[in-house]
Amino acid sequence: MPLPSNASLPTVKSTCLVLAFALLALPALAEDWVTTDGTKYQNVRVIRVEDDAITIIYKDGGALVPLFKLPPALQQKFDYDPVKAKLAAEARAKADKENAEELQREIEQSAVVKHQQQVENARQLGYTNTAAH
């Protein structure tokens, strides 16, 4: 279809871009899920699929949903393999534990640095821990 003589290429590109974003935003493409434990997710959009879980965005936010909690039809859709899932879940748990331990060490170190800074500030202001005579 030929363009009207008064239409410019940037205007046509802008219109197409707006139309493409509008189509991407349509909630009709999203699904509603109910897990085997009864948790409901509305307007689900899959962000990432891993061997043990799926990261989704849904009406109320985001979630990491274990594949074993999905109904069989969804498990099949995402190629759920219980053996692979178990190994991936164990690796995730180990990484989570290591991350939590590292975070705790950083929190403790931060507290030490903060205390040292407070002591130094008090020293610079002439405060001491000795009782006045």
Per-residue pLDDT tens listing for the chain (133 residues): 555 555 565 665 655 555 555 445 544 568 999 999 999 999 999 999 999 999 999 999 999 999 999 999 999 999 999 999 999 999 999 999 999 999 999 999 999 999 999 999 999 988 866 555 4
113 DSSP assignment: H
Contacts of 63 (CB under 8 A, 6+ apart): 41, 55, 56
Give which of 54, 59, 97, 102 is closest to 77, Cα–Cα: 54
3 state SS of 26: coil
Look up tokens 């274990």; give the residue: 66
